Amino acid sequence: MYPLLQIQNLTTFYGENKILDNLSFDLNEGEIIMLVGANGAGKSTLLKTIFGIVPKSHGQIIFENAKIKTKPHQMPELGICYVPQEFRVFPEMNVLENIKIGAFILNDKKLVNDRLEELFNFFPMLKKKAKLNASALSGGERQLVALARSLMLKPKILLLDEPSIGLAPKLVAEIFNKIKEINQKFNTSLIIVEHNLKTLLEIADRALILSQGKIIKEGRPKELLHSKVLEEVFFGERA
């Protein structure tokens, strides 16, 4: 049985600066991987490279045992969705319109409505605010809208870039509870970039520690929490 996603010898440049350096790892079906590292380690670039926003200079990205050759706008149809740090919602649209955008490739109205109903049951707060403009939502509510939109096509892989950024601690716990439910209910595999390690430790299956575009350590999150490598990455020479 092959992994759901295989990253092989991935190298990425921004101009003359090497951001990812011969990086390799696998993501298994139903797994949650957290990416850990100091600012500039290459975590967000890794998600953008997988999704095709940043072109790779070298290496292969293999999804379901086939090399990915699609462009970013085609990735959701392939089965991979990406929720970035910024621009999570369209503020001039209401909640319903924001979520429906996630089904842009579906022509079956009944299927779209069935998916909406399923997600509104999963996110009952969003159903209550379906006609409310996204500009009136809190940061946590906007993140839930972005998550719901990304699930309209029932992706096999979800790439999340700092889902807790800018949120109050209470909302952070709520967001990560929902992420775990998404993983369990929809069998969605996730790769998550996150600085809020304590909360993510409770739901992640595996952690990859990045430094200077390389994976320098991997293992179970709780085992790495007090790792000397992790301390060096954030506070020592590797940072």
The number of domains in the chain is 1
pLDDT reported for residue 46 = 97
Residues in the chain where the model's pLDDT stays below 70: 87, 226, 229-239
pTM, 2 dp: 0.91
Range of the domain at 74: 5-86+155-235
Q: The domain that contains 70 carries what CATH number?
A: 3.40.50.300
Q: What pLDDT was estimated at residue 214? A: 95
- Burial class of residue 229 in the structure, from the number of CB atoms within 10 Å of its CB (0-12 exposed, 13-18 middle, 19+ buried): middle
The per-residue pLDDT for 3 is: 95
pLDDT value of position 233: 64
Output the pLDDT for position 98.
96
List, for residues 101-118, the tens digit of each pLDDT value.
999 888 899 999 999 999
CA distance 114 to 17: 46
Looking at the domain assignment, is residue 141 inside a domain? no
